[in-house]
Amino acid sequence: MPGPDSPIGVFDSGVGGLAVLAEVASLLPGEDILYYADSAWFPYGDRPVEEVRARAEAVSRALMALGAKIIIVACNTATSAAIAHLRATLDLPFVGMEPALKPAAERTATGKVALLVTRATAKGEKLAALIDRHGAEVSVRVVAAPGLAERVEGGDLRGETTRALVRGYVGPAVAAGVDAIALGCTHYAFLRGVIEEEAGAGIDVLEPSAAVARQAARVLDERGLRNPRTAGGAVRYLTSGDSGAFAAIRDRLRDAGARVPEGASMPQGTAT
């Protein structure tokens, strides 16, 4: 059975969850972490719910086979499609993602907020429930943003094509009076700077990675699973895609100024 010295598992369809990984590694520096990029199936955002659910279970089982004591579903689409299924099916604690709508609703002065999400998340029941729970007192504009995750996967965080996409999604929302934007895809965390620039002064852009790391720490403490070390944790990377390409995109993201922990690459992932 997993114990305090077992690793934390984190997965996403690609590199978006690296933003969550960075927060977890910073908050819990004594923990070993396994990061699984399901790159062979990227992007989840355009896939049917059933397919995303099946991939989430397969990747979770692969992480469990490697000894994971908790799994962070560092993907809004996979959380929406699969986290209830994972919790019901697998005997392990799971922490998922959701857009930071609650703090956005608390901060807005205009009473208008936007959720920037993938198409799959936009259509999901979990997002609808989130809006019912935290958006009742404000006007919520859901903005599906296809193409942005792909720009991040390509390592283009500030290029003109990326900026033009962001402008096309954010501009109409700001023109409509939105003054808070909650990011609903982990990939979008890497575009936060461009989103803030295109949104303009006075617009709050909120991203939940740090909150997810804090929740993971709470779950570990509640279950007596936190590693007692205060430093020395190692990160290991694996992917269902090409491990060389995955290492290269991590380097490109670092070169672009993103916080991406250093770590060793493991043999290609075996989730099937």
Residues marked as catalytic: 75, 185
What residues does 229 pair with on adjacent strands?
Answer: none
Q: How many helices (H) and strands (E) does the chain have?
A: 11, 10
Look up residue 265 and give its two tokens: 């690459």
Residue in 66, 79, 80 with CA at minimum distance from that of residue 33: 66
- Contacting residues for 188 by C-beta, under 8 A, at least 6 apart: 16, 116, 145, 148, 149, 152, 195, 207
242 Rama class: left (phi>0) / alpha (psi -120 to 50) / beta: beta
| DSSP notation for 95-117 | E-----HHHHHHH-SSSEEEEEE
- Report the SS3 class of residue 247: helix
Distance CA 116, CA 210 (A): 18
Tokens of 270: 């075996």
Q: Is 74 helix (H, G, I), strand (E, B) or coil?
A: coil
Q: By C-alpha distance, which of 223, 148, 221, 244 is closest to 187?
A: 148
